[in-house]
Amino acid sequence: MRLDWELARRGYRRYAAYPGATYAGLFTNVFFGFLLAYILLAVYERADVIGGYDVRDAIAYVWLAQGLLSVVASFGPSWIELAERVRTGDVATDLQRPVDLQRALFAQDVGRAGYQLLYRAAPQFLLGALLFEVTIPAEPVRWLAFAASVSLAIVVSFALRFIVNLTSFWLLDYRGTYLMALVASHVLSGLIVPLSFFPGTIGDVVRALPFAAMLQAPIDIYVGAPLGGSTALVLLLQGTWAVLLLAAGRALLAAGTRKLVLQGG
């Protein structure tokens, strides 16, 4: 536990060391936040409620999504670090360390997410809430559920990225899978328009996928329009994806390690 804490602090400090990158990222997210907010305001000129979101929900959605993007679906340099270590073979050193690789990386990623939450998501949402009319839940329970959901989203995001990185045990050039994962998480996490805008069955299916568990689920809970109308159900779904994906990551790591030993021997 002490070690996990120490690793998380390292993960936090690593991002804190480059405030310039944070400001630049913040600037871009805010700019896109404005664009999307104006687009959605124009959309709501012609509709009152879309997929359970009224206009204030939709604007809250924009600023939460742009803010949480860096927290859960970080596409920064840390994304492909493990894949690069697998490609160069450095991962062999990592595996010899007396700590569990997945657990150690997760601890670092929690530190990273914490930094992004404090310095990107929070200021950005506050700015959006000051400049536009957004939904602010009154019930403390909903805020708690939202916090729980964001935490689960961080786990799902880590587990998914871990898996994508590990594919480089088999695909020596990871850029293809990286790009596919990027595309999938962009569309299916609900970054640009809320997934609840998608029509009928497609909308329900994409909202049940792990990508939705990274971004759409917490925001659905925040605005009070969770999938199937039940916050508990959404949290359970997120939890299930977290466990399944972490387990799948472990299995992949074990299989990859065996392969690594064969090649090295």
Residues near other proteins (CB under 8 A) are 18, 20-21, 24-25, 27-28, 31-32, 34-35, 38-39, 41-43, 45-47, 50-51, 170-177, 179-180, 182-183, 186-187, 192-193, 197-199
Tokens of 126: 């506050």
Q: 3-class DSSP state for residue 50?
A: strand
Tokens of 204: 């329900």
146 vs 178 by CB, closer to other proteins:
178
Shortest Å distance, C-beta 121 to other proteins: 17
154 vs 193 by CB, closer to other proteins:
193
Shortest Å distance, C-beta 5 to other proteins: 30
122 vs 179 by CB, closer to other proteins:
179
Shortest Å distance, C-beta 105 to other proteins: 23
CA 217 to chain centre: 11
**Length of the chain (residues):** 265
CA distances to 155, 160, 189, 205, 227 from 209, rounded to whole Å, are 15, 12, 9, 7, 12
CA distance 19 to 192: 26
86 vs 235 by CB, closer to other proteins:
86
Neighbours of 238 (CB within 10 A): 25
Shortest Å distance, C-beta 225 to other proteins: 15
Tokens of 20: 């310039």
179 vs 232 by CB, closer to other proteins:
179
Amino acid occupying residue 85:
R
Shortest Å distance, C-beta 196 to other proteins: 10
